[in-house]
Chain A
Amino acid sequence: MPSKVLLDVVHLDILLNRLAWQLIEKHKDFSNTLLIGLQPRGVELLDRLVALIKEQKSLPQLQSGKLDTTFFRDDFRRSEKIHAASASVMNFNIEGKSIVLIDDVLYTGRSIRAALTAIDSYGRPKNIELLVLIDRRFSRHLPIQPDYVGAQIDVLQGDKVRVKWENASKKSIVYLETENS
């Protein structure tokens, strides 16, 4: 698959650090906040942000979880692709909490809609915010906007924006997969 690097290691590192600081600025000691990564691709971003936040501050009460939205998707039986479910790990009560949903790329907004419905089945949080690493502008199908954005990117419909996480070498990049080039 032909691909083009959109964000390199250095740039990505700066973005992640900024997002971590933005979360700290808004949520202080995280005593009433839950960070929830969306399965499967948001979880890696969640783990990195949690690690960065803990580097800056000692936060024993920082709680995070993983949410799978497969059974809440609106394209069941409507797309050729069958989606595999991943595990949801939500070992806390969300009632009255501030929730930050975390995902890597925001595209049509449909996954976020599914996540909002999925969150409902765990209780009624105080409020929900959205953090994304990449916001693909002008491609939304639903009125959904992020509260925290790493970078905004404009690419053609049909092209894929992927975040490639490399654990060992720390050489993560964001790249573009194009269909035609």
Chain B
Amino acid sequence: MKALSVDHLLGIKQLTEADVQLIFETADHFKEVINRPIKKVPSLRDITIANLFFENSTRTKLSFELAEKRLSADILNFSAAQSSVKKGETLVDTVNNILAMKVDIVVMRHPNPEAAQFLSKRVKACIINAGDGTHEHPSQALLDAYSLREKMGDLRGKKVAIVGDIRHSRVALSNIFALKLLGAEVKLCAPKSLLPKYSSALDVSVETDLMKTLKWCDAANMLRVQNERMDVSYFPTTREYALQYGLTMDKLKQLRKDIIILHPGPINRGVEVTTEVADSEYAIILDQVENGVAIRMAIIYLLASKLNNNIT
């Protein structure tokens, strides 16, 4: 069988199209597994995984944890809030101390861009990036693309819009890489202040008018406004943002076509999408969550199969 071309999952940027297809095929099998009466396989019973969360997370952390448990791995959970990081320990020291307890894989979320890459060069373990600041969030992009593929088939030539706070979004960057890799067309839509500086380098189109974008696209990924990353005000008021860039049933009805709505969560109901839209049949938000476990099982399984085996 083919193996992944990488030893760590640091970002989508390092992956090839074949890698992504392999992850999807493996996720298909795991999706069947997690719908069995007993949702567990013994593959990783001799692997220990540390989940290091230096930044808050609910969905991603639970999803990784569940994926690891479904694969029978042993798990170590760490969150920065209750740790020695507060006492001034460096990242490499923290991780090396954890690895001294014989950990094989590290799943890490960190507020600093490229933290995963930094770590992968300095410690002896397989690193999975679960979000590094405003940089990448590869497992989210993979599950978004996987969920889209499930609804629309091959993504080649499909039109996907990414709407909202793109400037502060790691989901956006990873999504752009993943969608381009799979041959989809990508359009970014946001107020100018929330568009990234790099958009011209990414081979994507940019639009500031939500209705024009919606008319163009087959699917829209509605990103959350990340107030916690905003050092200054990027738009006048939340109400004004919601009026211009919030997705409502009215706007969807005007399209006279069905589009697929994604949201990486957590949702600010009434800001980027209204409650009616989030709970409508257009939205595949809960499919994304279910697929998230299967995709993460596939990522961990494929990376674990490449771990140096020192068993005998």
Binding site for B on A (CB under 8 A): 68, 70-73, 76-78, 81-88, 90, 117, 120-123
Contact partner, A72, options B2, B42, B307, Cβ 8 Å = B42
B197 at the interface (CB under 8 A from A): no
B41 at the interface (CB under 8 A from A): yes
- Contact call A121/B309, Cβ cutoff below 8 A: no
27 contacts between A and B (CB under 8 A): A68-B29, A71-B41, A71-B43, A71-B301, A72-B42, A72-B43, A73-B43, A76-B304, A76-B305, A77-B307, A77-B311, A78-B311, A78-B312, A82-B1, A83-B1, A84-B2, A85-B25, A85-B26, A85-B29, A86-B29, A87-B28, A87-B29, A88-B29, A90-B36, A121-B39, A122-B37, A122-B38
On chain B, the residues within 8 Å of A72 by CB distance are: 41-43
B33 at the interface (CB under 8 A from A): yes
- Contact call B43/A76, Cβ cutoff below 8 A: yes
Contact partner, B37, options A70, A73, A83, A123, Cβ 8 Å = A123
A71 and B1 in contact, given A77-B305, A87-B28, A121-B38 (Cβ under 8 angstroms): no
Residue of B nearest to A70 (CB): B29
B61 at the interface (CB under 8 A from A): no
- Contact call A121/B3, Cβ cutoff below 8 A: no
Q: Which of B36-73 contact A (CB under 8 A)?
A: 36-44, 46, 71
Smallest CB separation, A85 vs chain B (Å): 4
B228 at the interface (CB under 8 A from A): no
B32 at the interface (CB under 8 A from A): yes
On chain A, the residues within 8 Å of B25 by CB distance are: 85
Residue of A nearest to B36 (CB): A121
CA distance A76 to B3 in the complex (A): 13
- Contact call A88/B32, Cβ cutoff below 8 A: yes
Smallest CB separation, A24 vs chain B (Å): 30
- Contact call A87/B1, Cβ cutoff below 8 A: no
On chain A, the residues within 8 Å of B305 by CB distance are: 76-77, 82
On chain A, the residues within 8 Å of B36 by CB distance are: 90, 121-122
Leading 8 A-B pairs by shortest Cβ distance? A84-B1, A71-B41, A121-B38, A85-B29, A82-B1, A77-B309, A71-B43, A121-B36
CA distance A52 to B59 in the complex (A): 51
**Apart from A81-B1, A121-B36, A122-B36, what are 12 other A-B pairs with CB-CB below 8 Å?**
A73-B43, A77-B307, A77-B311, A78-B309, A78-B312, A82-B1, A83-B1, A87-B29, A88-B33, A121-B33, A121-B39, A122-B38
CA distance A96 to B114 in the complex (A): 53
CA distance A164 to B127 in the complex (A): 42
CA distance A90 to B38 in the complex (A): 13
On chain A, the residues within 8 Å of B304 by CB distance are: 76-77
On chain A, the residues within 8 Å of B28 by CB distance are: 87
On chain B, the residues within 8 Å of A87 by CB distance are: 28-29, 32
- Contact call A71/B33, Cβ cutoff below 8 A: yes
CA distance A77 to B37 in the complex (A): 27
On chain B, the residues within 8 Å of A71 by CB distance are: 29, 33, 41-43, 71, 301
Residue of A nearest to B72 (CB): A71
CA distance A78 to B43 in the complex (A): 11
Smallest CB separation, A67 vs chain B (Å): 11
CA distance A72 to B309 in the complex (A): 18
Residue of B nearest to A117 (CB): B42
1/0 contact string of B280-312 vs chain A (CB within 8 Å): 000000000000000000000100110101011
On chain B, the residues within 8 Å of A117 by CB distance are: 42
On chain B, the residues within 8 Å of A76 by CB distance are: 43-44, 304-305
- Contact call A121/B37, Cβ cutoff below 8 A: yes
Smallest CB separation, A54 vs chain B (Å): 27
Smallest CB separation, B189 vs chain A (Å): 38
CA distance A73 to B42 in the complex (A): 8
Smallest CB separation, B249 vs chain A (Å): 37
